[in-house]
Amino acid sequence: MNLILLGPPGAGKGTQAQRLVQSHGLVQLSTGDMLRAEVRSGSALGRRVKEVMESGALVSDDIVIQAIEARIAGPEAANGVILDGFPRTVPQAQALDAMLQRHGRKLDHVILMEVDEPALVDRLAGRFSCRNCGAAYHERNHRLQKEGVCDNCGGTDFVHRPDDRPETVTKRLEVYRRDTAPILPYYRDRGILRSINGMGEMDDVAQAIEGILRG
């Protein structure tokens, strides 16, 4: 099964993708995570990408398409993938179709997570993650079980994403409306786009996604 989790920044794509990894044994392909790994590597590409990401703009289509194809072609993707943060433009959606066809795979579901803008801004402002393992939390919505200690790895060092600053979030939301929302008709016209209310509790959102996957 191959699916896309679509939605604006902070909609909960990463949170729900992690749950699907656990429940369905699928592989999460997050272009944001891939790009952040490139930035951490300190490569020349990583330095260029860092500047673009911190501005709230999109990295070029070529870079993310190449990164996704390398993973979709690999054996780890054979059981299916959850695309999180990709595609984000119409050319990326077209490239995804072509690469799935080349590798004999098909797209089963495109799930749009709808969340209103004040909630998105609040979610991103309160998000933090463990520097060691990357587990993501929220100051109110997903708190650490033990103050100052990561539930997942026991790490004690936490970071806020640089692109979660309020001015960058405003830009990311603008970019979503301008460049990413136009891919919705692309999938709606093919009858594979389903929308869910992403405003509920994380467990309720997970149940709505499961409902779609069960058909």
- Pick between residue 43 and residue 191 the one whose CB is nearest to ligand AP5: 43
Catalytic residue among 71, 105, 161, 165: 161
161 in active site: yes
- Pairwise CA distance, residues 33 & 112, whole Å: 20
Note whether 100 binds ligand AP5 by CB under 6 A: no
Site for ligand AP5 in 4-43 (CB under 6 A): 7, 9-15, 31-32, 35
What is the nearest approach in angstroms of ligand AP5 to the Cβ of residue 127?
A: 3
Residue 199, CA distances (Å) to 22, 113, 116, 203 in order: 22, 8, 8, 11
Residue span binding ligand AP5 (CB under 6 A) among the ranges 40-48, 72-80, 101-109, 135-143: 135-143
Among 82, 110, 138, 196, binds ligand AP5 (CB under 6 A): 138
Q: What share of the chain is helix, strand, coil (3-state, %, to 5)?
A: 50, 15, 35
Site for ligand AP5 in 148-177 (CB under 6 A): 163, 172
What is the nearest approach in angstroms of ligand AP5 to the Cβ of residue 96?
A: 10
- Pick between residue 32 and residue 193 the one whose CB is nearest to ligand AP5: 32
* Closest by Cα among 27, 29, 105 to 67: 29
Which positions ≥6 away from 102 have C-beta within 8 Å? none
Instruction: Please count the CA atoms within 13 angstroms of the CA of 146 that sit on its side-chain side.
Output: 8
Which letter does DSSP use for residue 134 in this model? -
What is the nearest approach in angstroms of ligand AP5 to the Cβ of residue 62?
A: 10
- Pick between residue 165 and residue 191 the one whose CB is nearest to ligand AP5: 165
134 — alpha (psi -120 to 50), left (phi > 0) or beta? left
Three-state secondary-structure class, residue 107: coil
Give residues in contact with ligand AP5 (CB under 6 A).
Answer: 7, 9-15, 31-32, 35, 52-53, 56-59, 64, 85-86, 88, 92, 123, 127, 136-138, 141-142, 163, 172, 201-202, 205
Catalytic site residues? 13, 88, 127, 161, 172
